[in-house]
Amino acid sequence: MSQSDPSNIPSSTDNIHIHLAISQDQDRKSTSSTMTVPPETTPVPPSVFTPGTSPRTDEPKPTPTSTAIPIPIPPTAKPAPENEGNSTKPLALPRLRFHVEDLTHTGSAVFLSSVQAPAVLTTSIESIHKHLYDISLSSPTTTTTISSHPPKPRVITLFLRDIPGVAYTTSSDLDPAHKEIHFSLSYIASIASSRQAHEITGVLLHELVHCYQWAAQGSAPGGLIEGIADWVRLRCDLAPPTWKQDNVPEKWDVGYSGTAYFLDYLERRFGDGTVLRVNEKLGKEKTYKEKAFWTELVGRPVEQLFEDYKETLPKKGEDEGKK
């Protein structure tokens, strides 16, 4: 790939900084090796969770020295529409960086042909702010806006790498305000062709939530953190077909889609902005204490809420009996 002349970059990129870094690892093993692919994203985290990160499935390999090549937003990627008649300030984006470790990998070709990274990253960040930080509650007479303040990462780098699993998010060792999303090239290559854009966008949205959510200074249950990330994905109509609400989890904080559907029940039961308030409270609490947290938030223990939720779901064998 030839190096682009920065002077030729369209002016529409002034508010976003995307860099493509391409490097080759000559000793990389053959991409035809078999990899066990889990059905969802980051693995179930430990009991103590670091704010804004997903647990690592492995330690990141040192990134080979490479040349950063600025790339413009494709002509078809339209900038985010402005809110006409709304005095709200435009969303401040972090510097967004994009690093492809192996351009010859099949997963790289799938990613680059399925989505436009600048548009996907920008739209996903806007969706996170909409659902977790700024929501308008309308009634026939008034409109109320609930708003809280998110963490402010200065840089988010997306790495496409041949790693086990699906994806994980972490902070840079040198700068906590620099978040890194590591996305498995082998997983991307395994996605069915009819679902590539949908799945890639959903995984990126989930991982970006980890860059912007609170976690009670790392004391919140990992299952709750992962559930909030999948809840945002659910709200954005990016749930994969493998998610099934009638698969009742054993615990409310099992994580991922199991907790996401429970959170969606709370959102419908207690009203729009409930999950926003959960995240907001996680930003204020120094230590997560389960009973006090939920009682103060919605007036009852989370275990009782989970039992109420299970009563709303079909019982096993109930559907078969109706046939």
Q: What is the pLDDT of residue 82?
A: 42
Q: What is the pLDDT of residue 11?
A: 44
Q: What is the pLDDT of residue 266?
A: 98
pLDDT band at residue 168 using 50, 70 and 90 as cut-offs: very high
Q: What is the pLDDT of residues 90-144, one digit of tens each?
A: 788 999 999 999 999 999 999 999 999 999 999 999 999 999 998 776 666 667 6
Q: What is the pLDDT of residue 179?
A: 97
Percent helix, percent strand, percent coil in the chain, to nearest 5: 40, 15, 50
Q: What is the pLDDT of residue 316?
A: 64
- Asked if 50 and 199 touch (Cβ cutoff 8 Å), the reply is no
Q: Does the pLDDT at position 194 exceed 50?
A: yes
Q: What does the alpha-carbon distance between residue 228 and residue 257 come to, in Å, rounded to a whole number?
A: 9
Q: Does the pLDDT at position 220 exceed 60?
A: yes
Query: Exposed/middle/buried for 291, CB within 10 Å: 0-12, 13-18, 19+?
Result: exposed
Tell me the one-letter amino acid at 100.
V
Q: What is the pLDDT of residue 146?
A: 74
* CA 191 to chain CA centroid, nearest Å: 18
pTM of the model: 0.73
Handedness of CA 87, 88, 93, 94 (dihedral sign): positive
Q: Does the pLDDT at position 317 exceed 80?
A: no
Handedness of CA 238, 241, 246, 250 (dihedral sign): negative
Q: What is the pLDDT of residues 11-67, one digit of tens each?
A: 444 444 545 554 444 444 444 444 444 444 555 444 444 444 454 444 444 444 343
Q: Does the pLDDT at position 71 exceed 50?
A: no
Q: What is the pLDDT of residue 142?
A: 64
199-212 average pLDDT score: 98
Domain positions in the chain are 16-22+37-57+65-71+93-314
- Asked if 231 and 240 touch (Cβ cutoff 8 Å), the reply is no
